[in-house]
Amino acid sequence: MALPPHAQEWMNRAEIDYIGPFVKAWAAFNAWYRHASGQAQERAMLDFVIRDPNSRLRRRLLPVLEQPIAGQEHQVTAEETRLKQAVCDLQQKLDDIHFVITRKQRQERISLRSVCLRPLNNWQSDELDRHRHRFAAAKIQGGQYQITVTSIQTQQIRFQHVQANYDPAEVYAHPNFNENLTEPQRTTLRQFYDACNPRPMTDLVQGGGPVLDISTMQFQCTAQDLLAGLVETLYAMRNALLHGEVDPDEQILACYEPAYRIITCFLSLLR
């Protein structure tokens, strides 16, 4: 049976891209953090890399990413220049393409402008009392999300909606959202339910944090958040590749070249 066009195009590009080097470099990085963390779950391993004070990568990378203190001498090394150029190149290439993956039936763009740093992995429920009403959200049977607004005094349900996945736009577009709730109640429900997002996104480029000069780009975040964002972005790129979500598009494939360089910089710091 002949190869389908999609597979044939991959075959034609097999020798001219950075997919192979990226996968091999990630395999080496994976071997390190799997051993160093001593954890059994991938998520726990990545959290070790990003947040644990005993993470060698964290200890060695944060001083490289941190903004030099004004008035203090700072010796820029070739390794620092190489890493920051690779980070800058990666984000510029990601800006040029809409690189989207699907996660639990939700589309997410791979970019340091929109990266989940602090997922609410164990979230089950939350509630807020305001305007004499109780605003509640909870995961119910089957993993569905139930949103309810109830009068505290009468126990009358003013609004209720159940959805298969977290989708605030669906809630706010529901007819009863406008018909049954006052403007202050609608505002409160928006603020409350937005905060229940299991994967809140952070913009590391224009998020309003402290300035980090990364080659020719400026990021607005802490060095800790940039470290987390890089690891999460590279991991998402790895998953997209191995889960078959990457098309042989030249602009998408080009993103893997600076991604490969970033991982090799990580590995160099770990030696």
CA distances from 264 to 92, 182, 258, 259, 270 (A): 19, 55, 10, 9, 10
3-class DSSP assignment, residue 268: helix
Q: Rounded to the nearest 10 degrees, what angle do helices 78-95 and 223-242 cross at?
A: 60
What phi, psi does 160 have (nearest 5°)? -150, 140
Q: Are 235 and 42 in contact (CB under 8 A)?
A: no
Task: Please give the pLDDT value at position 195.
Answer: 95
Count of Cβ atoms closer than 10 Å to residue 201 Cβ: 14
Which of 231, 233, 207 has the alpha carbon at shortest distance from 219? 207
pLDDT at res. 102: 86
The pLDDT value given to residue 6? 64
Q: Sign of the CA dihedral 215, 64, 228, 46?
A: positive
Contact of 69 with 210, CB cutoff 8 Å: no
pLDDT number for residue 90: 98
Instruction: Tell me the three state secondary structure of residue 145.
Output: strand
How many CB atoms are closer than 10 A to CB 49?
22
For residue 145, give both structure tokens.
């999300």
Helices (H) and strands (E) in the chain, counts: 10, 10
Supply 147's token pair. 């949103």
Fold of 125-194: Viral Envelope Glycoprotein; domain 2 (3.30.67)
170, containing H or E segment: helix 168-172
Q: Where are the domains of the chain?
A: 18-118+202-270, 125-194
pLDDT beneath 70, residues of the chain: 1-16, 71
Residue 11 confidence (pLDDT):
59
List all residues 6 or more positions away from 5 whose beta carbon is below 8 Å from its beta carbon.
Answer: none
Pairwise CA distance, residues 87 & 257, whole Å: 11
